[in-house]
Amino acid sequence: MTVTIARENAIAVVTVDNPPVNALSQALRQALVAAVSTLDADAAVKAVVLICAGRTFIAGADVGEFGKPPQPPHLPDVVATIEGAKTPWVAAIHGSALGGGLEVALGCAWRVAVPSASLGLPEVKLGIIPGAGGTVRLPRLIGPAAAVDLVTSGSPVGAKKAEGLGLIDAVVDGDLRAGAIAFANDIAGKARPQPVSSRAVAPVEAGFWEGAEKAVAGKAKREAAPLRALASVRKASETDFASAMAFERETFLELRGSEQAAALRHVFFAERAAPRPPELAGVTPRAIRSAAVIGGGTMGAGIAAALRDAGLPVVLIERDAAAVERGLANVRGIYEGSVKRGRIPQAVADERMAGVTGGDDYGLLADTDLVIEAVFEDLAVKRAVFERLSAVCRPDAVLATNTSYLDPDAISEGVSHPERFLGLHFFSPAQIMKLLEIVPTEATAPEVLATGFALARLLGKIPVRAGICDGFIGNRILKVTRAQAERLLLSGATPAAVDAAMRAFGLPMGPFEAQDLGGLDIAAFQRKAARERGETPFAPVADRLCALGRYGQKTGGGWYDYQPGDRAPKSSETVAAIIAEVAEGRAQRTWDEAGIVDAIILPMVNEATRILEERVALRAADIDLVKIHGYGFPRWRGGPMHHAEARGLSAVVAVLDRLAADGLAEPPSDSLRRAAEAGGFSVLAG
Ligand code: 3H9
């Protein structure tokens, strides 16, 4: 870390260089305070430009320091020192001015930014609120309504919008350093604006705070930080600066130590580690400049859209002209939906669509860098596809299967140059869901595996390496979730009670609602295949529902009944009667919300521990990412593995032992017991 001071005549330029993102470590805070006193002592300096080296302005407090006691100088004091400096400071922003970085900029007398810069207070995404005056200065600078938006959403705004809000004073085109120095020369002789801390907050309309509270609470559900952030902005608007600062700091310190903040920090670091697995360090991926998708159904069309959204030209291959048309129509449908929802303008949709070529001739793929197969889940059909690809594609083209349940090793039998083959498992809708399971076979070359990770980065997805087993990581755990959900029904719970408990836990949907939405037929098909292999999947009620053709919403009934044109689930007497019949002779009990959640989540953890032990997943945090980004597990709970560790693995083992004794779950695996003894999953990984 260095903070250097250079002079450009009467302007001093303070350059912060603390890679990778100029986070506000203790050493940097100290150096900024020192820079203020050095420059205040120099009468020849008329203004100071604060600028950063590297990819970004100060991107915030150092999240790595959050688990430790705060060390002085504390950031609120650093910001106050800059604000109180004799010489006015100008923040020169490129990249991202986030969290503590924006708070430092708010202490400066002026702020300028390049057009590509973004500014925001993302603290709520880490389960905290700004802790260095963000909630107090922001309403004083841009008014309470805009401050509430920025602080409670955590979403950044671009430089243009920031200028419109009054968050920055100017957008600098061209070289930032030169532009900021010119700006500083310009303001050096002028009256200095009133420090933000001593400005008044603009009044709000009657009912504003109540309305904001309702809106924020509706979005935040059980996440604590957004409402606490709102309370802090409100306090800042209704009281003096010093009291508001004290209120903000107290809230910040309280939340910093909270379980939700620890969970969100865990996810923050897991997400940043995911694209760069240490085992692939130094491996260069193959270049991907063009891509093709085989199969234009829902999944194939979604993958094609995801590839196009990342700027790749895409060829969509189907069996015949009619199927090509249907496939292209599916892709078009995705873009039409995006335009309708205001996500992209029509011109962008047209440009994306223009980059998708349809055809039934595999010869179109002779020079394609990456081909992803997304045809029907049938081994023979998939093998036939890869046979044709082997014949036409360049030998270094990467060939991938999007299979969910088949064995990629079996699919790849007969592929020429099998080292270029791997599984790329997308989640539906593929253009939206962030998770990408990357499944190497025995033969996959390291640089092909690395290409999978590079592709994920290009597509803005979270990559997780998964080993080969039935369902890989995510769907293997999902099977346990579903079996547990049925066990609950057979021991006294109702579908509505199970779904309500899981929603209360933080999932967007309960397991039964989710099955009704997605359709029960796919899982039934997989159970059939599993039984043919001699396995004994547990789904006695689902099997009965499927036998009646109750496949979910699309057939007017599944676990619930549905009125035509209405997606609201209604409890079903038919289902209740089937459950009662199947449950005949089984012990019944009363389930409360916590009991239901334990009976679903902890067996998931048990299975996940086996997955870790078998090295189907390499890290517990990877499993958390799979559940968060593929299955809607609440981010603020950190994923099932973090949740279990936070709960205490010994307690998890004890609950599973009790459930197993009543025949309501598998007993804890040896590996879970071992992890409990060691106090964490790290004993199983690596
Ligand atoms: C805060 O400021 C609280 C204050 O209000 C109160 C204080 C009292 N700390 O994302 P990338 C690392 S809360 C430590 O791949 P990009 C990251 O782990 C903070 N480390 O880069 C990774 O490490 P490695 C509010 C951090 O170019 C490397 O930097 N601020 C931090 O795609 C590269 O990260 C935020 O929440 C950090 N704050 O994107 C900002 N940030 O190379 C969070 C990053 O070892 N950061 N690292 O794996 C971001 O949004 C992105 O990193 C950013 C750059 C957009 C800046």
Phi–psi pair at 400, nearest 5 degrees: -130, 145
- The answer on pLDDT for 373 being more than 80 is yes
Ligand 1 center to residue 389 CA distance, Å?
Answer: 42
Cβ of 21 below 6 Å from ligand 1: yes
- Mean pLDDT to the nearest integer, 347-354: 97
Q: How far is the CA of 506 from the centre of ligand 1 (A)?
A: 26
The total number of residues written for the chain in this structure: 686
Instruction: Give the whole-angstrom CA distance, residue 373 versus residue 317.
Output: 9
Ligand 1 site, residue 75, Cβ cutoff 6 A: yes
416-460: per-residue pLDDT in tens?
Answer: 999 999 999 999 899 999 999 999 999 999 999 999 999 999 999
What does 412-456 look like in DSSP terms, one character per residue? TTT-SSGGGEEEEEE-SSTTT--EEEEEE-TT--HHHHHHHHHHH
CA-nearest of 295, 313, 322, 401 to 357 is 313
Catalytic residues: 103, 123
Q: How far is CA 586 from CA 482, 495, 581, 582, in A?
A: 19, 17, 10, 9
3-257 domain in CATH 3.30.360.10?
no
- Whether 252 shows a pLDDT value over 90: the answer reads yes
**Atom 43, ligand 1: residue with shortest CA distance:** 59
pLDDT of residue 686: 55
Q: Cα of 39 to ligand 1 centre, how many Å?
A: 29
Nearest-atom index, ligand 1, CA of 130: 5
Measured in Å, residue 60 CA sits from the centre of ligand 1 at 7
229 in contact with ligand 1, CB cutoff 6 A: no
Q: Which atom of ligand 1 is nearest to the CA of 99?
A: 2
Adjacent-strand bridge partners of 424: 438
pLDDT band at 414 (very low <50, low <70, confident <90, very high): confident
Quick check: CB of 211 below 6 Å from ligand 1?
no
Q: Residue written as tokens 């408990």?
A: 501
The residue whose CA has the least distance to atom 10 of ligand 1 is: 272
- Atom index in ligand 1 nearest the CA of residue 100 equals 2
Helices 495-505, 474-490: axis angle to 10 degrees equals: 130
Cβ-count burial 151-165 (b if 16+ within 10 Å, e if not): bbbbebbbbeebbeb
Residue 151 to residues 103, 162, 196, 200, 593, Cα–Cα distance (Å) = 12, 14, 17, 19, 32
Q: Is the CB of 272 under 6 A from ligand 1?
A: yes
Q: What is the rounded distance in angstroms from the CA atom of residue 114 to the CA atom of residue 92?
A: 8
Q: How confident is the model at residue 653 (pLDDT cuts 50, 70, 90)?
A: very high
Q: How far is the CA of 660 from the centre of ligand 1 (A)?
A: 43
- Give mean pLDDT, residues 337-352: 96
- Whether ligand 1 lies within 6 angstroms of the CB of 120 is answered as no
* φ, ψ of residue 549 in degrees (nearest 5): 75, 15
CATH class of 474-683: mainly alpha
Q: Domain residue spans in the chain?
A: 3-257, 288-465, 474-683
- Residue 278 Cβ contacting ligand 1 at under 6 Å: no
Would you state the pLDDT for residue 351? 97
Contact 57, 49 (CB under 8 A): no
Alpha helices in 41-84 (DSSP H): 75-83
- Computed over every residue of the chain, the mean pLDDT equals 96
Q: Whose CA is nearest to atom 51 of ligand 1?
A: 59
288-465: CATH number: 3.40.50.720
Residue 105 CA to residue 97 CA, distance in Å, equals 8
Please tell me if the CB atom of residue 20 comes closer than 6 angstroms to any atom of ligand 1: yes
| Per-residue pLDDT reduced to its tens digit, 575-629 | 999 999 999 999 999 999 999 999 999 999 999 999 999 999 999 999 999 999 9
- Window from 57-66, 542-551, 588-597 with minimum mean pLDDT: 57-66
For 11, the 3-state DSSP assignment is strand
Measured in Å, residue 266 CA sits from the centre of ligand 1 at 13
Specify the ligand 1 atom closest to the Cα of 129: 5
- CB of 78 within 6 A of ligand 1: the answer is no
What pLDDT was estimated at residue 69? 86
Query: 123 CB less than 6 Å from ligand 1?
Result: yes
67 lines ligand 1 (CB under 6 A): no
Per the listing, tokens 């360049």 go with 394
Over the range 561-586, which residues count as b (16 or more CB within 10 Å of their CB) and which as e? Answer: bbeeeeeebeebeebeebbeebbeee
Return the half-sphere exposure (C-beta side, CA atoms, 13 A cut-off) of residue 233: 34
**Would you call 314 helix, strand, or coil by DSSP?**
strand
E strand segments, 71-211: 89-93, 96-98, 110-113, 118-120, 157-158, 170-171
* Residue located via tokens 């579908």: 495
d(CA 534, CA 337): 43
> Which pLDDT tens digit goes with each residue over 10-30?
999 999 999 999 999 999 999
* pLDDT for 522: 84
Does the pLDDT value for residue 228 go beyond 70?
yes
CA of 142 to the centre of ligand 1 (A): 25
**Distance from the alpha carbon of residue 382 to the mean position of ligand 1, in angstroms:** 42
Mutate to test the pocket of ligand 1, among 1, 21, 56, 256 (most ligand atoms within 8 A of CB): 21
Nearest of 382, 389, 418 to residue 403 by alpha carbon: 382
